Structure formats: C-alpha cells, structure tokens
Chains A and B, each alone.
Chain A
Amino acid sequence: MNANGAITNERSRLPWPMQLAVPAASLITFGTHLLIAQNAPPLETRSYMLLFWEIVGVSIVLAIAQKFWPVLRRWMRHMWPIFTAAILFLGVWDVITVGLHLLPLPYFPGPAAVLRSLISDRGLLLDSTWHSLVLLVSGYTLGVIVGLVSGVCIGWSSSVRYWGMPLLKVVGPIPATAWIPIAMVVSPSAIMSSAGLIALAVWFPVTMLTASGVSNTRASYLDVARTLGAGRLYLIFRVAIPAAIPNIFIGLFMGLGASFLTLVVAESVGVKSGLGWYVSWAQGWAEYGKVFAALIIMAAFFSTVMTLLFKLRDRVLVWQKGIIKW
C-alpha cells in the first residue's frame, strides 16, 4: 500500500472512539441518574431510561450503517462530538439539580422530570406549537412583503425617501411589543393584532436594510444597464433589487429574531394559545417541568425556522460563494 492509499483509507474510516462516544456518554449520563435519583418517581425514570436505550440503539445502528454510506459517515464525523457533549450536559444538569440541589426546586427540575412533562403534555404542546407557527408565518410574511415594498420605494425614489425616512426613523425603533395596549384596542381579534405586531416588528429591519441596499447599488451597475437599453423597471427589479439581496437577507434575519420575541410576548399577553401562552400558563400552575419542556420545543422550533431561512439564503445567494465567508 502506498502512502496515498493509506491516507484515503484513514479518511474513509470513522475512528472507533468516535463511534462509541455517543453510547458511552449515554451510559455515563444514565448511570449518574440512577445513582442520584434513587427516590424519583418510577414513571419518570422509565421514560428517561427509554430515551437512552433509544439513543444507544440508534447510535449502534448508525455506526454500522456508516460503513456503507459515506454521506452518513461525514455527517457523523461532524455531529458526533456535539451530540456527545449534549448528552453529557444532561448528566451535568441532573447532578446540579437533583443530585446536589444547587438550584432551588421546583423551579429547576431535573432532565427526567422535564422529559416526563414533555411526554405527558404532548398534545397541548403540539397544539401550541401549531398555533405559534400559524401566527409566526402570517405575521412574518405580512411584515416581509410590506417591508420589501416600502424598502424598495424608499431606497429607489428620493421623494419617497424624503417623506418616508423620518417616519421610519421615528416609528421604527419603538419595540413592537410596546404597541400591545393600543393593538388590543384597535384590532377586532387578539390573533389579528398579534399578527400585526409581529409584522410591525419585521417590517422595520426589512425596510431599513432593503432601502439601504437599494440606494447603495453601485452606480456603475446602473450605468452599464442603461447603456444596454434598460428601462426603469429593469433597473429596479433586475439591477437594484438583486444588488440589494445580501442586505435584504440581513434584514430578514433581524426581522426573524424580532418576530420570535414579539410572538412570545404577544402570546403570553393577548392570545390564549401558542407556546408563549403555554409557558406563562404552566408558570401559573408552578409546573416548571412544563415550562422547560416548552422552552425546549421553542428552541427546536425557532432554530428550525432560522435554519430554513439560512437554507433559502444559501440558495438565493449562491453567486456569493467564494466572495464572502458565510
């Protein structure tokens, strides 16, 4: 075997410590749990144990499957250290809360209790997630559409900029949640006022970034297009807007962050559904296991939405690959 072949061989294999890291971490974490939670409710321990058996089982299946599937192998090589750390983190959490009582109960339940809440209240959690999704999507979409239109108008036309910019600068920075008292009075339903508030929260950064992107289009791009016979519509839609897209995406990301915040606040104050409502409702009953369960769902939900936006950007801005670092 020459050196080259050896190198290829080395790279195509997943080292066995890495293959075993996830099951090993699972055993350590669950072993810790058994040691410190001897008087925990049996139902809690059982579902926690089932979780680990599943993780161990899946990781063994994957460890075998990766031998025949290079894509999976690359993914595992990338993700396994993170997963291992996440599982060990559960153990640390367990030790801090249930084991050493460093954090006061009932505000900080152990991971097993949170898992128990997650499972027992799954119907309501799923329903809340669905309501949050509907509200988020409708508010965000509305905000993006209005923001894009107003941003392009302000960025392109100097007279619209003259009248629009002061309004944007004065009204925009007010946090959307500060409008809640007024929104509740103005709008016929809490859902609609919440969607409007989310739209308002999204509108400001999208407008701001779109306007600056459009107005900062390189003059020479516009000059070139004009000498090629471009009219005004071409200049706006085929030159200025594409040139502004990197900026627009920054606005979309900022808007998404603002929309999460507004969603949770609006739900806990006005709308009687959704994850934000669920959190404050569970808090009202002092069921902190449920609070944490909802936070976990929120983390998964929001990061999935964020990831989707990243994927969209990667697709739209594929021409930037190699120019800037993502």
Chain B
Amino acid sequence: MTTNIAAASGVRVHEICKSFPVPDAPDTSRLALGDISFSIAAGELVSLVGPSGCGKSTLLRLVAGLDVPDSGELVVGNQKIVGPSAERGLVFQDPNLFPWLSVRRNIETGLVARGVLREKRNEVSEFMRLVGLETFANAYPHHLSGGMAQRVALARALINHPKVLLLDEPLGALDAFTRMRMQDEVLRLWENRRTTMLLVTHDIDEAIYMSDRILIMTPAPSRIDREIDIDLRRPRDRTGDSFLRFRGEILEHLHFAGNAASTST
C-alpha cells in the first residue's frame, strides 16, 4: 500500500525545452530551458538552486502544469502532466492568500474548489492546528505577519493531500530568524507526510539544511549542471564541518559556472 502510493508520486522531467517570445522582437524567441532532465523519487525532498534568471521558476511552473513545455515529457507517478491539478500543490514566495477570505476560508479553498468541503470539513481545523493558526481562523490575511501568511499558504496547499508539493522560494521574503524557524516547520510537515517536494531557492544554506539532493542549475540556456546528494542526518547542524564543506562545494561550482557563462558570451 505505502509503496503503491510512493511509486505514484515520483516526478520525472525528461528532455524539457521551453522558450519565450522576446518582447521587442516578435519573431524571435529566447530559449529559457534547454533540454532539462532529472527525476525525483517518491517522498524525496529535492532543491533546485542557481542564479536568478536561470529558469528555476519556469521549470516549477511547468511541473505545476501552469505552462506547457515546447518539447519533452513531464510525468508524475505514471501520469503525464497536462495541466494544473490539485495533485501538485504550489507555494509561491508571495503567499498569495485571497485577501477577501478569512484564514479558515483560505485554507478551505482547495476543498471548495474540488467540491468536497462537506465531507472533509473536519480536516480544516486539523490543518490549522498543524501550522499553529487555530486562533487566527477568522482573521483576514493582511492582519498576518509574513511567516504566518506563508504557513496559511502551506496549509492551503497541503489540505488537498498533493502527491507533490512545489515550493517557489517560499521563505524568500521572510527575515532570517523566521526563515530558519519555517525551514524546520516545512521539514516537520515533510517528515510527517512524506510528500514529494521540489524546492526552488537561491539560499544555499537552506538547500543544504533541508534537502536530500540539490540540483544546481546554470543559465543561458538553462540546464542542470550538477547534482549533489546531501547525505547528512537530520536535524542538520548549520555550522558543522560537513555542512560547510557542501556549502563550499556549491559556491565554488556556482562561481565557476558563472565565470564560464560570462566568458562564453
């Protein structure tokens, strides 16, 4: 049973290309993603790091089904991705809570949208407790701090029990302390539920602290340059020797990649 579910929630990205039209020159297009391939095992937490503009968010939107690739194949479990679905939750850097709905109603969104609110109403309170927001049930989003709003966004995505959770720099707008606390919180949610997670971040420490594996992306045209397995036990020591060794390795790689890109153009 468990293996069955696990097998259904791996992600396979196969030879994906995506280009966008250049705004000033209508007939030309810019290759945003060139031939990207990787896969994520079920229940794995994988980070995607790289300099800004290297196509991380574009890739995430493709996996979410919000955009369509020019070529290549995207598969979750054994199903091809053809459009957005409640099976793949997405959390942005901006929590994007609906300002006209209370915290509780924001979290309920997925249940209402799928027409299952009646059967699953009791789960709403459970998820609010899970992210520690029971007392804010009737508050409106603009009363929440950045960290609280992002927790609501997480609960809203998780209430659909997605097979895959896509995180697009979800903690990027938070201050350093809130961010570290939220990293532990996301890890706790992940360890409890073993949802497959793909985390886009430009914070290398965050990637090392959280993920099983890190994919390093380089720009123009974007590709996966390197994969690093983080074989450290959790909870990880942010100042430990091996942590810093990984950090050095990634920084060096990105620096090198940056140089290579600038000399080649």
Q: Are A220 and B94 in contact (CB under 8 A)?
A: yes
Contact at B142–A227, with CB atoms within 8 Å?
no
Q: Could you give, for residues 211-230 of chain A, a 1 whenever the CB lies within 8 Å of some chain B CB and a 0 otherwise?
A: 00000001011011111111
> Contact check: which of A221, A228, A242 meets B86 at CB < 8 Å?
A228
Is B56 located at the chain interface by the 8 A CB criterion?
no
B112 touches A234 (CB 8 A): yes
Query: B90–A229 contact, CB under 8 A?
Result: no
Given A239-B98, A243-B100, A319-B140, answer yes or no on A224-B90 (Cβ-Cβ < 8 Å). Answer: yes
Counting chain A CB atoms within 10 Å of each CB, which of B88, B98, B112, B114 scores highest? B98
Give the interface SS of chain A, mostly helix, strand, loop or mixed. Answer: helix
Judged by a CB distance under 8 angstroms, whether A101 is at the interface is no
Q: Which residues on the B side are within 8 Å of A5 (C-beta)? A: none
Residues of A within 8 A of B94 (CB): 220
Q: Does B92 contact A (CB under 8 A)?
A: yes
Residues of A near B140 (CB, < 8 A) are 319, 322
The A-B contact count (CB < 8 A) is 74
A227 touches B109 (CB 8 A): no
Residue contact A229 to B98, C-beta cutoff 8 Å: no
Let me know if B200 is at the binding interface, CB within 8 A.
no
**Residues of chain B lying within 8 A (CB to CB) of residue A67:** none
Q: How far is the CB of B69 from chain A (nearest CB, A)?
A: 17
CB of A123 closer than 8 Å to a CB of B: no
Is B43 part of the contact surface with A, judged by Cβ < 8 Å? no
Partner of B160, one of A221, A223, A229, A239: A229
A323 at the interface (CB under 8 A from B): yes
Which chain A residues in 265-323 approach chain B with CB under 8 Å?
319-320, 322-323
Cβ-based interface call for B28 (8 A) = no
Binding site for B on A (CB under 8 A): 218, 220-221, 223-231, 234, 238-239, 242-243, 245, 319-320, 322-323
Closest CB pairs A-B (n = 5): A229-B86, A230-B113, A228-B110, A226-B84, A227-B90
Residues of B within 8 A of A (CB): 61, 64-66, 84-86, 88-90, 92, 94, 96, 98-102, 109-110, 112-114, 140, 142-143, 156-157, 160, 166
